[in-house]
Amino acid sequence: MQKRKSRIQAFLSHPLSQIILFVLILAVIQLLSAAGLISNSLVFAIGNTLIYAVIAIGFCLLLGYSGLASLGTAGFIGLGAYSAFYVMQEFGMPYIVALLATLVVSIVIGVVVGFISLRIEGIYLAILTLGLAEILRNLLMAMKSTVQIEIEKIRLFGLLMDTRGGYFLILVTFAVLFWLTANLIDSPTGRAMLAMKNSTSAAQAMGISLMKYRLLAFVISTVFAAVGGLLYMMYVRTMTTATSTLLTLTTSLNILGAVIIGGAKSLWGTTFGVFIIYGIQSMFLSRIPFFIENPAFMTMVTGVLIILVVMFFPGGFAQIAVQLRQRLKQIAAKKGKEGGSDGG
């Protein structure tokens, strides 16, 4: 009995099995909605939230592990979204080509901006990326104010990616990127990033090239953001840049908020943070009149949470969860001891 329990625990503590379990649950939800048990809009909101989770995971690596902040997330989401539009709608190419285009564009721009700003100091990254995002938004808006993809144009290996197919594609993308990031964190790369965050001098003395790993973390975060933009266009299929908040500073700040609030060093914490900031809004609050009239209310709450978490709980919800679990364990151990002595 005990043995089986510990085996289950070992299974659950492995990131790969965690992610598979998570994906299975969300896949079942989709199937339940197909059977009419759950409303379609709720499932759609879950898919939408997962897109932000993809973006946030990349940001987690940048902020929690490398100790760098970027405000360019929205700009790279825009790059991904517009590459998706031009490649699939205008040129009629399949999804894979759009993915490749997104990767190439985001890597090239990420490397150039990252290299120049990181050469000076880590703190400059946020400034230069903020500038980049604002400029990109204006440029993209001037190029085309409304982008829209027809559903027939979204094809992956010949398969039509409608709302249901898109949902599964998002799930798979999330799972793969989550797993890769978890692996990277648990490898020399992740440790090198942490070393750099704690002490740049120690990292350099241990042979860690600051530029290499800072740039790596930044480029990974830009690629994830751009992939998020691509997924968004694939799933939602339309965006009016002038009125949508997707490409504004608010999105960059929300992603930052999700990572900080959930726990900058925990991928699950980050995913949880995204569900707090985007999920609650799109799944539940969007039905309550007060929140429909005041869409900015959640932005304000996000701001307050960011400030409080940085001030008092630098580890975010993940840290609070760990502390709670330890407390529970202590209590359980105490009880177990008492119970044991009773029995003996």
Site for other proteins (CB under 8 A): which residue of 256, 267, 274, 318?
256
Residue 265 touching other proteins (CB under 8 A): yes
Site for other proteins (CB under 8 A): which residue of 126, 280, 285, 321?
126
Q: Report in angstroms how near the CB of residue 123 gets to other proteins at its nearest.
A: 6
Site for other proteins (CB under 8 A): which residue of 56, 81, 227, 253?
253
Name the nearest CA neighbour of 196 among 181, 207, 186.
Answer: 207
Name the DSSP letter for residue 286: G
Site residues for other proteins, 170-189, by CB under 8 A, read 180, 183-184, 186-189
Judged by CB under 8 A, which stretch of 30-38, 40-48, 79-87, 298-306 contacts other proteins?
Answer: 298-306
The DSSP code sequence of 155-185 is EETTEE--HHHHHHHHHHHHHHHHHHHHHHH
- The SS3 call for residue 239 is strand
Place of tokens 């510990």: 6
Q: Report in angstroms how near the CB of residue 74 gets to other proteins at its nearest.
A: 11
CB closer to other proteins, 308 vs 328: 308
Place of tokens 């992610």: 19
Site for other proteins (CB under 8 A): which residue of 161, 298, 317, 318?
298
Q: Report in angstroms how near the CB of residue 34 gets to other proteins at its nearest.
A: 33
CA distances from 60 to 135, 158, 214, 270 (A): 24, 34, 13, 7
Lookup: tokens for 98: 């759009």
Site residues for other proteins, 95-124, by CB under 8 A, read 112-113, 116, 119-120, 122-124
Q: Report in angstroms how near the CB of residue 77 gets to other proteins at its nearest.
A: 17
Site for other proteins (CB under 8 A): which residue of 24, 96, 143, 172?
143
Lookup: tokens for 218: 């930044």
Would you say 226 and 75 are in contact if contact means Cβ atoms under 8 Å apart? no
Site residues for other proteins, 58-87, by CB under 8 A, read 67-69, 71
Name the nearest CA neighbour of 87 among 74, 103, 75, 76.
Answer: 103
Strand partners, 3: none
Counting residues that bind other proteins (by CB under 8 A) gives 75
